[in-house]
Structure 1
Amino acid sequence: MAAEQRKLLEQLMGADALAGKVSKRQELSLNDARVCKSYLVGTCPHDLFTNTKQDLGLCPKIHSEGMKAEYQREKEKGRDFTNFEIDYLRDVEKYILDCSRRIDAAQRRLERTPDEIAQTSSLLKDIDELNEGINASVAEIEILGEYGIIDRALKEFHAIKVKIHNRQQKEKELRIINDNMGLSGHQKLQVCDVCGAYLSRLDNDRRLADHFAGKMHLGYVQMRATYKELSERLSHASQYGRPDRRGQDRDRDHDRWARGRSGRRR
């Protein structure tokens, strides 16, 4: 409730009005740690998924339209903000990695487990053996009938009925396993490789279009595109940067970011 009230007040009064004294423009600079660098450079992840299943809540840092405008002015004058861009890249990367982990986990839940594979193989083997037994009993009944051995033929007929009943039970168990394989079941689910949501192969075009045009999916589309563009640009800047102090600082920041990525991959 408090978060909803704060959002409403922010819409009416602006984020700066709720930040108290620390939000006053004269007390903050662009480099202030309390200022959201992701908001200045691009789009803060906290603003991408409001009112979705992935709602991140309010950003703990300050979003100021005035400071964003100042950032743009300073950038146009040639001021180097590579350290801001690296902070933004790290922020975006954190949420992309988290989404990718959810996608992997969701995909594993849809796959057939070793236990399901073993049960399926065992049931198929039992059904094959029952079919062979039924066929053998039918052939034996025909022979017994030709020789007039009625009592044995009736016993064999009863045995066939038992085998048919057992086969039906095995086939029912097999259908249940196949119908509920992983989490897919009747839904025939698959995982969206962009946002990690479950999609049904049975969905019509309208439902699929609604998903791909949805706020959560588009948010991750934007985030992944931003990450790709920014990481490529920063890598290029590191290779061809200016040999001045700001360039050295920028390269040092980028090297730190690159080492962090390498450590996470290991």
Structure 2
Amino acid sequence: MDAMRKQLDVLMGANRNGDVREVSRKYYDRDVCRLFLAGLCPHDLFQLTKMDLGPCPKVHSLQLRKDYEEVKAKGTENYDRELEEMIDRLIVECERKIQRALKRLADEDAKAAIAISVSEVTQTDEVLQLSKEIKEKMKEVDIYDFEGKTDDKIKALEVVEELRSKRADMQATLLLDAFNKDRASLPQPTPTPQMASVPAPAPPDARTQEMINEKIKKAEELGEQGMVDEAQKVMEEAEALKKLAARREPTSDSTKYTAADVRITDQKLRLCDICGAFLSVYDNDRRLADHFGGKLHLGYMLIREKLKELQVLNVMYPLLL
């Protein structure tokens, strides 16, 4: 019920039922969410993911945010520090997950995984322009919400989703290009006369390949939910299936393949430096687009952008007084 109530609040406003208390409430009341007033509440992020915090127990009101912003402009109130501290905690925990995942993989193979700078390879002028359009459209959503124009708000949200989908497709293409170069740079085993005489193993049978694909998909979903250890375990199961299928295929002399040769074929996992989700250099553009459009990635991207904005304001704020 709380989740349904929250969805109705998003579409129609928290005071959709004409709650008298909402009219008399002040922005500084204890039951008003200061983080929402400052621009971002963590309870609105990561919905339906592993990091879902559920509905915020405090009031979210655009009218009270407007009241707060008017007072803030006069220099008498500022909740930015509280918001910055909350965002910083979320980002620090995300960075810890990334480092734990890298260390675990490095213990098995120092080159098994790296944290690719998604934020660098996917930041073109076109992507930045789409992000700007999304931000402007979200401001329109807030205006329509404040004015009670539900139909206009829904239409604006639909445009936001279209822009996000377009941006995700564009980012997926850019990352796929980076992964193509990444694959080309992976070290290959030095061929020897013995290895040259060994035929390449046949691909797994259809059923085994289906099981492998299912595990890879599950690992990606777990990674997007922040379940790093679980995702790695499932990926290991997928790799084990691949190796098992290869062993079942007859070869002239399987002893010619060394452990180092096998590890080289496993060097494909990458970690998104924005949300910490597992990516594969063998992912196709559709899988990568799903990652960029996922709530976990969008949530972390939003808070990282908000942190940069707050840091700039911290520098500029004393100069404006």
- What's the TM-score bracket when you normalise by the shorter of the two chains? 0.5 to 0.7
For 1:70 and 1:116, the matched residues in 2 are separated by 53
1:109 aligns with 2:104: yes
1:85 aligns with 2:165: no
* TM-score computed with the length of structure 2 as normaliser: 0.47
* 4+ long deviations beyond 6 Å: 114-117
Give SS of 2:290's match.
Answer: helix
More helix by share: 1
1:4 aligns with 2:32: no
For 2:299 and 2:110, the matched residues in 1 are separated by 37
For 1:12 and 1:204, the matched residues in 2 are separated by 35
Q: Where in structure 2 are the equivalents of 1:1-266 lying within 5 Å?
A: 2-8=1-7, 10=9, 14-16=13-15, 24-26=22-24, 28-75=25-72, 78-82=74-78, 84-113=79-108, 168-169=254-255, 171=257, 173-176=259-262, 178-179=264-265, 188-238=268-318, 240=319, 242=321
What letter is aligned with 1:206?
R
Q: Where in structure 1 are there 5+ consecutive unaligned residues?
A: 118-130, 132-166, 243-266
Give SS of 2:257's match.
Answer: helix
For 1:226 and 1:11, the matched residues in 2 are separated by 20
How many residue pairs are counted as aligned between the two chains? 184
Q: Where in structure 2 are there 5+ consecutive unaligned residues?
A: 113-193, 195-252
Shift of 1:172: 5.3
Greater Rg, structure 1 or structure 2? 1
* TM-score computed with the length of structure 1 as normaliser: 0.55
Give SS of 1:199's match.
Answer: strand
Q: 1:93 to 1:25 in 2, by over 3 A?
A: farther
Give SS of 1:33's match.
Answer: coil
Shift of 1:230: 0.7
RMSD: 3.7
What letter is aligned with 2:103?
R
Q: 1:52 to 1:103 in 2, by over 3 A?
A: same
For 1:202 and 1:116, the matched residues in 2 are separated by 16
Fraction of identical pairs, as percent? 37
For 2:75 and 2:260, the matched residues in 1 are separated by 67
Give SS of 1:202's match.
Answer: coil
What letter is aligned with 1:213?
G
Shift of 1:17: 7.2
